[in-house]
Chains A and B, each alone.
Chain A
Amino acid sequence: MKNKLIMAIALVMALVAGWAATTTTAQAATDNSLAKVQKKGTLIMGTSPDYPPYEFQATVHGKSQVVGMDVAVGKKIAKDLGVKLVVKSMSFDSLLVALQTGKVDMVISGMNPTPARRKNVDFTHTYYQGGYSIVINKNDKGIYKDKDSFVGKTIGAQTGSTMYNESKKQTSGTTVKGMTSVSDLILGLQSHKLQGVAMEKPSAQAYVSNNKELAMIPSHFDLSASDTSASVAFAKGSTSLVAAANKSVDQIRKQDLVNKDYLPAAGKYLKTNTVNTSMLHYWKAFLKGIEYTLIITVCSVFFGFILGVLLSLARMAQGGVFATALRWLATAYVEFIRGTPMMVQVMFVYFGLGLIVNLPALMSGIIAISLNSGAYIAEYIRGGINSVDKGQTEAARSLGMTSGYTMRYVVLPQALKNIWPSLGNEFITLIKDSSIVSIIGVSELIFQSNIVRSDTYRGVAPIAVIMVLYFIMTFTASRILNHFERKMQHD
């Protein structure tokens, strides 16, 4: 236990140091990126699928999957390399980190090859040259002409995107509000929190043609070519892979595949999406969300409980230098975990540990939440053990029972009964807090609802649905926990 804890702390320190280093320094001189991809037979593409027609979720043959012109580009590159394309969804902010930490092989997400990004990743040639538009409410048509009409108003753009930076730079007297997903931005627009949303022209067209309440105006941003073009990003230093991908990209440009094939195909998917936007139609998506939410919660409570028992025993260790060290380490762990946001812990486990072992998102989420929950449960258990009368221990010891047996058969069962309400509370909190893992692309309920929102262009209905679903889950859980609490009462 002690050794493991020391190792964990050393690991954390190494990661903190390593993280800073890897993001700036180039990869090793020998570039085997192309050979590596060909050897494993798959090309993993990272994308943020809430940006039609570039990439978005659609139901194809009854299954929800990521489609759009960027996916077509990805497929073409994979096909030309002779490997299979795997699409991984995550938030736009996380894409480049995922690329740098090897979670994905490439990023295609309508990404502009800006000089700042070029410092950290390598880009292919441009596969599409777009431009910016601003989406507004149809009723406001005539009030707003272009980017300069929003003095004293608020416009929105996707956080981490070029539009966000340019909107900040090229407007004056206008508030620029960043949000992670475009669906949220559109919702903000429709609820009049925003007066306009800056986005790529094809996206704007997609939204406007699918939502009769919206209209689009030209942005008139002064832009360099790199700001409006979209390129494929690869990890820094993967020259061979970039060169291979460039062949595909050049073909795409030469044959104008984007305008001829990819965009029309994406448009078709968009139409099928909006044919039936009732929430009932998306029950499968919600069911999958519930399934993952429950998997994460149950696993995390289970492992968190085991960790919590060990930590609480370590915190109460008595006698000797070893016990003191153990106590100190456990206390430090609990304080540290309680003192840092769970969201940061989730990202750290997924991206940070990802530098050493490549953990899938779901497993990373479960690990991070278990580690977090363990710290809280440890405190409950410690309180529970202290609440058991000392006479119980004395009686057990006087019967010749060892301290281990005493803990296991006499103290812990009583402690558990005392802390059952707190544990139940933790379980219910976790059902809700597990939503944090949506940031690393685990398809739990929040993540799924975001997909449904961008699929259907309906902002509020999916939120209402998951609110009810969360309540059903927590309420059922609390009924079940109450049942066991009653069963444990002997008095």
Chain B
Amino acid sequence: MTKPIIEVKNLAKNFGDNQVLKDISEQVDTGQVIVVIGPSGSGKSTFLRCLNLLETPTSGEVDFDGQDLTTLDTKKVNTLREQMGMVFQNFNLFPNMTVLENIKLAPMKVKGISDTDATKRAHELLKQVNLDDHADAFPTSLSGGQAQRVAIARALAMDPKVMLFDEPTSALDPEMVGEVLNVMQDLAQQGMTMVVVTHEMGFAKSVADRVWFMADGYIQENNTPEAFFSNPQTERAQDFLSKILM
């Protein structure tokens, strides 16, 4: 593994009096797939959203590619955000645009890529997520699984260095989870650096390089999936695993 692409130092986040993240220091190396698991309300999503500054950390550092995001001005943050794609639980596709327009919007407006080039790239990405025949559809006509794959393609269109996934399959019907996870697995195999918040333990076991177990505002365990699932170290993790894996 090479140098860390993301390094978090003493990260804390409060919402009013509620301290959601207490003190987190971890790092993500280029090419790694990190799966963050843990009980509901443990701050997993907040942690992920602090990585691209959708939430502003209360204290601590988020270093991306050697730069501390928390000290940068808005303009620089925008530029660095381009390099961190994010996929949301509720897809958040733009309902007033077609699938193709959803994918083309940011490359054209932010990067100034020409319509022709953006369209070409969008079709490539749609092929990659197996949805090229839906290019002209509007998001409301897509199934959840299709919508999430479009959302992944949209994030990839900015050629990010890192992809953040915030419970990408939680809002899907069970039969659609597989198609999304397959796309994510392909992406991991191509060497994409990924941080995935999920409840899909199967995915964690088979795809993750490291599993971070999060509870009570701390990363309680950071281990390989084999070690974590067979031999959890903390009582908190043992308790969690006993509840979900019979």
Contacts and interface: CB of A to CB of B under 8 A. Distances in A.
Interface of A: 389, 391-392, 394-403, 405, 409-410, 413-414, 417, 488, 490-491
B106 A491 contact: no
B167 to A, nearest CB: 13
A389 B139 CA distance: 15
Nearest to A399: B106
Interface string B59-88: 000000000000000110011011111101
A409 B109 contact: yes
A396 B88 CA distance: 12
Nearest to A402: B78
B94 interface: yes
A488 to B, nearest CB: 8
Nearest to A391: B92
A401 B112 CA distance: 12
B106 A401 contact: yes
B155 interface: yes
B81 A414 contact: no
A402 B74 CA distance: 8
A389 B92 CA distance: 9
A398 B52 contact: yes
Given A405-B109, A409-B105, A491-B140, A395 B94 contact: yes
A391 B164 CA distance: 15
A491 B82 CA distance: 30
A244 B82 CA distance: 78
Instruction: Enumerate the 5 nearest inter-chain pairs by beta-carbon distance, A residue then B residue, closest first.
Output: A400-B82, A395-B92, A399-B106, A398-B86, A391-B92
A490 B105 contact: no
B158 A395 contact: no
Given A394-B92, A417-B96, A399 B82 contact: yes
Nearest to B89: A391
B81 A398 contact: yes
Contacts of B93: 395
A424 to B, nearest CB: 18
Given A409-B109, A417-B96, A490 B82 contact: no
A491 B95 contact: yes
Contact of B79 (A392, A394, A400, A491): A400
B155 A394 contact: no
- Judged by DSSP, the binding face of A is helix
Interface in B39-75: 52, 54, 74-75
Contacts of A392: 92, 94
Contacts of B154: 399
A400 B94 contact: no
Q: Among the interface residues A389, A401, A413, which one has the most CB atoms of the partner chain B within 10 A? A: A401
Given A399-B82, A401-B110, A409-B109, A490 B96 contact: yes
Contacts of A402: 74-75, 78, 110
Nearest to B79: A400
B138 interface: yes
Contact of B88 (A391, A401, A410, A417): A391
B30 interface: no
Interface in B133-177: 138, 140-141, 151, 154-155, 158, 164
A410 B79 CA distance: 19
Given A394-B54, A405-B109, A490-B140, A400 B158 contact: yes
A88 to B, nearest CB: 49
Contacts of B141: 491
Given A400-B78, A400-B82, A403-B74, 18 more contacts: A395-B88, A396-B106, A398-B52, A398-B81, A399-B82, A399-B154, A401-B105, A401-B110, A402-B75, A402-B78, A405-B110, A410-B94, A413-B96, A414-B95, A490-B95, A490-B96, A491-B95, A491-B140
Contacts of B105: 399, 401, 409-410
Q: Among the interface residues B74, B106, B138, which one has the most CB atoms of the partner chain A within 10 A? A: B106
B222 interface: no
Q: Among the interface residues A399, A402, A413, A490, which one has the most CB atoms of the partner chain B within 10 A? A: A399
Contact of A491 (B84, B109, B138, B164): B138
A119 B140 CA distance: 72
26 contacts: A394-B54, A394-B88, A395-B86, A395-B88, A395-B92, A395-B93, A396-B94, A397-B54, A398-B81, A398-B85, A399-B82, A399-B105, A399-B110, A399-B154, A399-B155, A400-B79, A400-B106, A401-B78, A401-B109, A409-B105, A409-B109, A410-B94, A414-B96, A490-B95, A490-B96, A490-B138
Contact of B155 (A389, A398, A403, A414): A398
A483 to B, nearest CB: 18
Nearest to A408: B109
